[in-house]
Structure 1
Amino acid sequence: MSALQGKVALVTGAGQGVGQGIALALATEGVSVAVVGRTEAKLETTCELLRERGVQARPYALDVLKTESIAPLVDRVATDMGRLDILVNNAYSGNLGKLLDLDLKSFTKGYVSGPFAAFEFMKAAHPHLVASGGGSIVNLVTSAMVRWDLSTYGAYASAKSALRSLSRTAAVEWAQDGIRVNSVAPHALSPGLKWWTENNPEEAEEFVAAIPMKYIGDPETDIGRAVVALCGPDMRYLTGATVPLDGGQAHFG
């Protein structure tokens, strides 16, 4: 029996891509999942896949840009599912572009959906994680934070850098509560990236060539399984870390 059997996770942006992959990997270990995202049809699809793996799965429609709705949703998840042990902040909605082409609203959109939303989820989850005897939070950041050329990535990378710092702070402050907080920076073949690779084959070939392991990660087997490991007892002494899941491409010096 898995060490995570019977636990409950809340995963944002779980209707597709990396979020769905993480949810599926957790379900394989017997973790029931609150599937959070914007599109109800996609949430239902993910829930069906999770139920096929023998766990409870419930859909919760939410736009993380509406931060005032986050805390009530977390409380509802804990009530509906009886507990909360794992929080995965994956959802993100922001803009790319050169700094001079972005206005303040465009620049800060990624902050609202990223560190601001994660802050609300984390604070709301805290008492429920404590009540369950401690737990694990995993926040998704990006290797764009350490790109040598940040052109057009400024808004994205800075928002994710803020989330990384938030994760480290919570890891230190909440360690005494039995809560571990880590970040992962993935490359994964999400629907968006898959579309890009198919429509930009030459650029995609160059991108893959820059990955030492020579392939883009799979949302479940490469990203989701790593998140499972982070949430399990084998990693009980790891907190405040940023784990690159990118085949060795980025250098977090």
Structure 2
Amino acid sequence: MTDLTGKVALITGAGQGIGQGTALAMAAAGAAVAVSGRTPEKVEETARLVRERGGTALPLACNVKAADDLAAAVGRTVAELGGIDILVNNAQEVPLGKLDDVTDEAFLAGFESGPLATLRLMKLARPHMVARGGGTILNFCSSAGIRWDMTGYGAYAAVKQAIRSLTRAAAAEWGGENIRVLTIAPHAESPGLKWWIENNPEEAAAFFRTIPLGRVGGLETDIGRALVALCGPDLGYLTGATIPLDGGQANFD
């Protein structure tokens, strides 16, 4: 595994799912992890799991829709862990439903927790990465953004595709500062995907038939460890790209 010893990672949405799996994987690789989320009990549990394995974790209560919370999370990470080398913008509220059914409130929540929070955190983390000689930012999108049939996914796809554009811009503007920015498009055993499978059984069955590897990725083993590798020097020439960690299901070409 890539060695992240001496690195500090700030991970949003780390109380469960991909965020928690990423925290465990990055801590196992040697990074100190700041794990943030809306529910203090959940991020405390993630921190406990990291510490139980011998890692260093800082739990942070943080609502990514609140600008003050984001600034406080970055400030505490730098003050208590020494800086920021890796930013994982994982947290996201999902506005699902046909366009006529998606409320302004739901769409705004998706925008605020997605592209706006991503942009805010990237800008907050950037000077701290520059101070340490560079860094890696991992943003998240979804294959929903390239579905041939957008029915029921238009609002969700819109906020996720906006994140891809922010990634490309940040990679172009900050590459000279040795800051790499990537977008990840995962399929993982997250609570959100499990909920979707349970509530859309027929569509889920059809969905699984389109995954060449025939399974959904493990949170730590398939997604978290892949993100660790993306932060390492062997992939140091990769930036601005969308990386599908989905068993071969989506075609982002």
3-state DSSP class of the match of 1:101?
coil
What residue in structure 2 maps to residue 100 of structure 1? 100
Comparing 64-73 with 201-210, greater Cα deviation is found at 201-210
Cα contact 2:2–2:229 (8 A) shared by 1: no
The within-5 A match list for 1:14-163 is: 14-163=14-163
CA distance in 2, matches of 1:144, 1:200: 15
Q: 1:152 to 1:64 in 2, by over 3 A?
A: same
The Cα of 1:248 is off from its aligned counterpart by 0.8
Cα contact 2:2–2:228 (8 A) shared by 1: no
2:169 aligned with 1:188:
no
Q: Which runs of 4+ in 1 moved over 3 A?
A: 195-204
Comparing 36-45 with 65-74, greater Cα deviation is found at 65-74
CA distance in 2, matches of 1:4, 1:216: 26
TM-score by length of 1: 0.95
Q: 1:108 to 1:199 in 2, by over 3 A?
A: closer
The Cα of 1:150 is off from its aligned counterpart by 0.8
Cα contact 1:3–1:233 (8 A) shared by 2: no
3-state DSSP class of the match of 1:244?
strand
Cα contact 2:36–2:73 (8 A) shared by 1: no
The Cα of 1:207 is off from its aligned counterpart by 1.9
Cα contact 1:180–1:240 (8 A) shared by 2: yes
Cα contact 1:94–1:110 (8 A) shared by 2: yes
CA distance in 2, matches of 1:158, 1:200: 21
Cα contact 2:167–2:183 (8 A) shared by 1: yes
TM-score by length of 2: 0.95
CA distance in 2, matches of 1:149, 1:2: 38
Cα contact 2:213–2:248 (8 A) shared by 1: yes
Cα contact 1:108–1:155 (8 A) shared by 2: no
Task: Please provide the CA RMSD for this pair.
Answer: 1.5
What residue in structure 1 maps to residue 174 of structure 2? 174
3-state DSSP class of the match of 1:100?
coil
Q: 1:136-162: CA deviations, max 9, x gaps?
A: 000011111101111111111110110
3-state DSSP class of the match of 2:133?
coil
